[in-house]
Amino acid sequence: MGSLWELLWVALHDCDAPMNILSALSLARVPALAFCILGFFWGAFAASVPDIKAALGVNDAVFGLLLIGNPIGLVTAMWLAPRVDRALGARGLQIVTGCFAACFILPGIAQTPVIFALCMIAMGITSGLTDVLMNARVSELEALHKRTLMNVSHGMFSVAYAISALGTGFLRDAGNPPVVALGCVAVIGLLLATRLWMAPVVVSDEERTGAGRMPWVIVLICGAIVLVAFMTEGTVETWAALHIERTLGGDPLAGALGPVMLGITMAVGRIGGQGLSDRFEDGQVIIVATLLAATGAFIASVAHTPMSAYIGFAVLGLGVSVIGPLGLALVGRMVPPAHRTEAISKVAVMGFCGFFLAPAIMGSLSELFSLRVAFAFVGVLSLAGIGLVIALRRQVARTR
C-alpha cells in the first residue's frame, strides 16, 4: 500500500508533469499520429460490436471465434514487420498505416461470418504492421533522447479511441449502420497517414554482427506482460457495450459509454504515467497498476447499473493503461539495437493477440455462464502480471 500511495501522491503533486508530457509528445509526434489512427478504428469498432454481431446473426461463442481471424493476421505481421521495415525505410510507417486505414470499412460491410473472419485477418495483418513499426519508432526515439515516450504515445491511442467510440455511439443512437462510423474514421486515417514519414535508425553491419543472439527469455516475458495487459483491455473494448446493453439494460448510447469510459481513463493513466515512469522503477508501476486493473474488472462483474459498471471500467482503465506500454519500453531497452525491431514485433504481436484471444475466451464463458463470470475471469487473469514482473527481475539479475 505504501507504494500505491507514493505513486498517487507523485501523480497528484507533480507540478512539472504538464510540461514533461508536452515535451514527450513533441518528441514522439510522428509515431503518435499512428497511435491516433489505430485508436480511431478500434474505438469505432468496439462501439459498433452490438450491431456488427447482430448483422452476422451469431451467438457470443461464435462471434468470439470469428475475432480470432485478427490474431491470425497478427502472426503474419510478426513475420513480415522486420522485412517490411528494412524494405520500405522512411516510408514504411506511412505505407502500412495507409493500408490499415483503407481496410477500416471492411468489418462494417461483411454480411456473412466467413467474410467477416477474412476481413478480420486483413485487419490483423495491417494493424499488426502498423503497431510494430510505430512502437519501433518510439523505442528508437527513447534510445536517442534517453527518456520514456511509450506512455504518452499509447495515451494518444486512448484519446483517439474514446473520441471515436463516443462519436460512434451518437451515430448508432441516430440509427446509422456501422459502415458510416467506420467510413468516417477511414477518411481521417488516410489523411493522417500522409504525415507519417519517419526514417528508422540504421544499424551497421558491425553492430548487427556484434549484437549476439536474441535474448529470447526476456522477449517472451515482456511479451507475456503485454499479452495479459492487452487481453484485459481487449475484453472491455469488445464486450463492455454488450454487458451494459444486455446485462444491465442500457440503450445504445449507454452501451457506447462503456468503451468511452475505458478510453478516457486509459488516456489519463497513460499520459499521467509519463511522469511516474521517470520517477519509479517500471516493475513497481506495473505491479500497482495490475492490482488496480483487477479491482476494476471485479467491480464490473458485480455491477447492477450502468453507472457502477462505468466505475469498474474506469478503475480497470487507469490500471491497465500503463502495463502494455511499459512492457514494450522494457524490451526496447533490454535488447541490442540490431534486434530492436524484431524483438518489438514479437512482443507487440504477442500483446495484440490478447485483444482477440481474450474476447474468444469471453465469448465462451459468456455463452456457458454469463458476462459477469467472464469479467470476473478477467480480474483473475490480470493478476498474472505480478508474477511475470517478478520473473523478469530474476532473469535480468541472472543475465547480469
Q: How far is CA 92 from the centre of its chain?
A: 21
7 C-beta neighbours (distance < 10 Å), count: 18
Contacts of 307 (CB under 8 A, 6+ apart): none
The answer to whether the beta carbons of residues 316 and 236 sit under 8 Å apart is yes
17 C-beta neighbours (distance < 10 Å), count: 18
> What is the pTM for the complete model shown?
0.74
The answer to whether the beta carbons of residues 47 and 172 sit under 8 Å apart is yes
- Cell output for 291: 492490482
Contacts of 179 (CB under 8 A, 6+ apart): 105, 108, 109
Q: Domains in the chain, start-ordered, CATH in brackets?
A: 2-201+212-399 (1.20.1250.20)
Q: What is the 3-state secondary structure (H, E, C) of 47-101?
A: HHHHHHHHHHCCCHHHHHHHCCHHHHHHHHHHHHHHHHHHHHHHHHHHHHHHHHH
- 3-state secondary structure (DSSP) of residue 214: coil
- Cell output for 159: 484519446
pLDDT of the chain, 400 residues: tens digit per residue: 445 445 544 544 554 556 677 787 888 889 999 999 999 998 899 888 889 988 998 887 788 788 888 878 877 887 788 888 888 888 989 999 999 999 999 998 988 999 999 999 999 899 989 988 998 888 888 888 877 788 888 888 878 988 898 899 889 888 899 999 999 999 999 999 999 988 776 655 555 555 567 788 889 999 999 999 988 887 777 778 788 888 888 887 788 788 778 778 888 888 777 667 667 777 888 888 999 999 999 998 898 888 998 999 899 988 888 888 888 888 888 887 777 778 887 887 788 777 667 767 777 787 788 888 888 888 898 898 899 988 888 887 776 6
